[in-house]
């Protein structure tokens, strides 16, 4: 049993990420105690199916001894090695090589970070450096998408387009610009894929024209927008945007922090569209959450320009824990699970079952939209399907939905826009997927009984 003193210590001392301090003081912490496969156990002994893989990161699932052993062995042998002073460690070098070998096209160069935010931040620094190096320093404007999420660093939060990450923080900066998302369900041009792609390309071109192509450095997009509510672009959207960027001499950054490592099927979601971005950022599934690690994958032409520009000078960008050997050893062990352990394959089958199961909920009076690809999905709740009316008091509604799911023994992401997000571990069995869908139906039925929802219908 969880001791009350732990809840009290948390209340007094631990600042939680993405939390309302006063709300958290009221609700208190739910301590997670242990996990195996796709099942979490909390401090009160409740068992929960993890439909969100932690924070869309535990792609391999919990409790893999091979990963634990790899970390322990590396800790015994060499717990730390800096990458400074031309030094390094075997796991970091091997993991960089394995990523380069698997990444699309000429994304042959890897810079390790501690997670996704500093991976995005590093791309901003490298892109600025690149433009200095090749004599185009005036290319210093950055474009990203509405509903996009690119992390919580100061510069990354400015590329992020969720108002909660800006409010009170003095971002975005004046060199950070947004264009509309593809958001198929609520796109003003309708739901025709070709029309949505054409509208996005036209808006990108118009924004570049407004800023001046000679000033625009890069465009950022997630292959599927995650934190914005699991927004899936029409097939061909990423490719069309990447091609438009190339034509205008703008670097294309695919932020794959969520989508890489089997989340949508292949190792990188960029493969779904056959594109080769100039940068890919990864984190989360890279170690499946067993240790913190992120990476920037950089195209050869960018690397060569940066290296030529720097000459013998040091590039002043480095973290103490870049290429941490324990995290890298974990990354190598997790890669084995995805490939040799059959997890990518299992994830593809489980993803198809999840999508079919969620589509089976389409007739529920609250379900306005079902969307997703692979093991990344969402259902968007509305009180009027024809008018697509969002649930009332969306923030409070999302809190209630999370609590209902928790009581039903399921962890999901309840978004402020009234969408429920799913990103289960790739190891899920068919029975676990079916159970997640069944518990979701219970959540929907309870939500339908909520007097605030009833009165809005």
Binding ligand PMP (rule: CB under 6 A), the pick from 227, 322, 346, 447 is: 227
- Residue 22 CB neighbour total at 10 angstroms: 8
Query: Could you tell me which stretch among 44-52, 114-122, 188-196, 362-370 binds ligand PMP (CB under 6 A)?
Result: 114-122
Where would I find the beta strands (DSSP E) of 66-149?
109-113, 141-145
Cis status, amide bond into 172, omega within 30 of 0: yes
Query: Could you tell me which stretch among 46-54, 115-123, 332-340, 439-447 binds ligand PMP (CB under 6 A)?
Result: 115-123
Report the residue number, 151 or 425, with the smaller CB distance to ligand PMP: 151
Binding ligand PMP (rule: CB under 6 A), the pick from 83, 91, 104, 116 is: 116
The pairing of strands 413-414 and 251-255 is: unpaired
Q: DSSP 3-state helix, strand, coil percentages of the chain (rounded to 5)?
A: 45, 15, 40
Binding ligand PMP (rule: CB under 6 A), the pick from 99, 120, 253, 444 is: 120
- x/- mask, ligand PMP, residues 284-303, rule CB under 6 A, reads ----------x---------
| Strands lying side by side in the sheet with 109-113 | 109-113, 294-298, 279-282, 251-255, 216-221, 141-145, 176-179
> What does the DSSP 8-state code read for residue 273?
G
> What does the DSSP 8-state code read for residue 104?
S
Binding ligand PMP (rule: CB under 6 A), the pick from 283, 378, 433, 453 is: 283
Nearest to 181 by CA among 244, 224, 117: 224
Q: How far is the CB of 255 from ligand PMP (least distance, A)?
A: 4
Binding ligand PMP (rule: CB under 6 A), the pick from 50, 222, 273, 380 is: 222
Specify whether the CB–CB gap between 387 and 185 falls below 8 A: no
Handedness of CA 243, 248, 251, 256 (dihedral sign): negative
CA distance 410 to 387: 30
Query: Could you tell me which stretch among 61-69, 252-260, 392-400, 443-451 binds ligand PMP (CB under 6 A)?
Result: 252-260
- Residue 105 CB neighbour total at 10 angstroms: 13
Query: Could you tell me which stretch among 147-155, 169-177, 391-399, 412-420 binds ligand PMP (CB under 6 A)?
Result: 147-155
Query: Could you tell me which stretch among 73-81, 103-111, 251-259, 397-405 binds ligand PMP (CB under 6 A)?
Result: 251-259
Our finding on whether 331 is near ligand PMP (CB under 6 A) is no
Half-sphere exposure for 72 (CA within 13 Å, toward CB): 6
Our finding on whether 435 is near ligand PMP (CB under 6 A) is no
CA distance 45 to 51: 18
Q: How far is the CB of 224 from ligand PMP (least distance, A)?
A: 9
Report the residue number, 283 or 444, with the smaller CB distance to ligand PMP: 283
Nearest to 257 by CA among 129, 113, 424: 113
Query: Could you tell me which stretch among 146-154, 271-279, 354-362, 381-389 binds ligand PMP (CB under 6 A)?
Result: 146-154
Our finding on whether 258 is near ligand PMP (CB under 6 A) is yes
Our finding on whether 279 is near ligand PMP (CB under 6 A) is no
Say how many residues touch ligand PMP, by CB under 6 A.
16
Our finding on whether 428 is near ligand PMP (CB under 6 A) is no
Residue numbers 374-393 binding ligand PMP by CB under 6 A = none
CA distance 25 to 12: 8
Binding ligand PMP (rule: CB under 6 A), the pick from 151, 262, 285, 425 is: 151
Query: Could you tell me which stretch among 37-45, 150-158, 166-174, 438-446 binds ligand PMP (CB under 6 A)?
Result: 150-158
Our finding on whether 418 is near ligand PMP (CB under 6 A) is no
Residue 80's contacts (CB-CB under 8 Å, 6 or more residues apart) are 324, 325, 326
The pairing of strands 413-414 and 419-422 is: antiparallel
Report the residue number, 18 or 386, with the smaller CB distance to ligand PMP: 18
Question: Under the rule (CB under 6 A), what is the footprint of ligand PMP?
Answer: 115-117, 120, 149-152, 222, 226-227, 255, 257-258, 283, 294
């Amino acid at each position: 049993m969880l001791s009350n003193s732990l809840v009290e210590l948390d209340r007094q001392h631990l600042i939680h990420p993405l939390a309302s301090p006063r709300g958290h003081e009221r609700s208190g912490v739910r301590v997670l105690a242990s996990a195996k496969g796709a099942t979490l156990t909390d401090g009160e002994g409740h068992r929960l199916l993890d439909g969100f893989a932690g924070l869309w990161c535990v792609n391999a699932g919990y409790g893999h001894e091979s990963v634990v052993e790899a970390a322990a062995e590396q800790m015994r042998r060499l717990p730390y090695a800096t990458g400074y002073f031309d030094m390094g460690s075997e796991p970091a070098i091997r993991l960089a090589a394995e990523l380069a070998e698997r990444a699309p096209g000429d994304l042959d160069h890897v810079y390790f970070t501690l997670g996704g935010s500093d991976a995005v931040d590093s791309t901003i620094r490298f892109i600025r450096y690149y433009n200095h190096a090749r004599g185009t320093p005036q290319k210093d404007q950055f474009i990203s998408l509405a509903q996009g999420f690119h992390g919580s660093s100061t510069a990354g939060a400015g590329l992020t387009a969720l108002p909660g990450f800006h409010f009170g923080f003095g971002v975005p900066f004046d060199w950070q610009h947004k264009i509309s998302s593809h958001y198929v369900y609520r796109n003003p041009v309708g739901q025709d894929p070709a029309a949505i792609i054409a509208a996005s390309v036209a808006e990108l071109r118009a924004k570049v024209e407004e800023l001046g192509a000679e000033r625009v450095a890069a465009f950022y997009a997630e292959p599927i927008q995650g934190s914005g509510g699991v927004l899936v672009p029409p097939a061909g959207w990423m490719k069309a945007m990447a091609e438009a960027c190339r034509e205008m001499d703008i670097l294309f950054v695919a932020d794959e922090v969520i989508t890489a490592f089997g989340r949508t099927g292949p190792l990188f979601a960029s493969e779904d569209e056959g594109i080769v971005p100039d940068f890919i950022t990864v984190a989360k599934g890279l170690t499946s959450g067993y240790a913190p690690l992120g990476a920037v994958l950089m195209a050869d032409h960018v690397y060569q320009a940066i290296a030529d520009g720097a000459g013998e000078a040091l590039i002043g960008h480095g973290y103490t824990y870049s290429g941490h050997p324990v995290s890298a050893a974990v990354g190598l062990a997790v890669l084995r699970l995805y490939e040799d352990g059959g997890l990518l394959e299992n994830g593809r089958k489980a993803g198809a079952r999840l999508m079919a199961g969620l589509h089976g909920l389409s007739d529920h009076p609250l379900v306005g939209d079902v969307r997703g690809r692979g093991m990344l999905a969402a259902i968007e709740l509305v009180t009027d399907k024809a008018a697509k009316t969002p649930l009332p008091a969306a923030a409070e509604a999302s809190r209630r939905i999370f609590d209902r799911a928790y009581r039903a023994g399921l962890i999901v992401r309840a978004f402020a826009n009234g969408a429920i997000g799913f990103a289960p571990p790739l190891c899920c069995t068919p029975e676990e997927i079916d159970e997640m869908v069944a518990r979701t139906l219970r959540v929907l039925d309870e939500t339908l009984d909520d007097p605030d929802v009833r009165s809005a219908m």
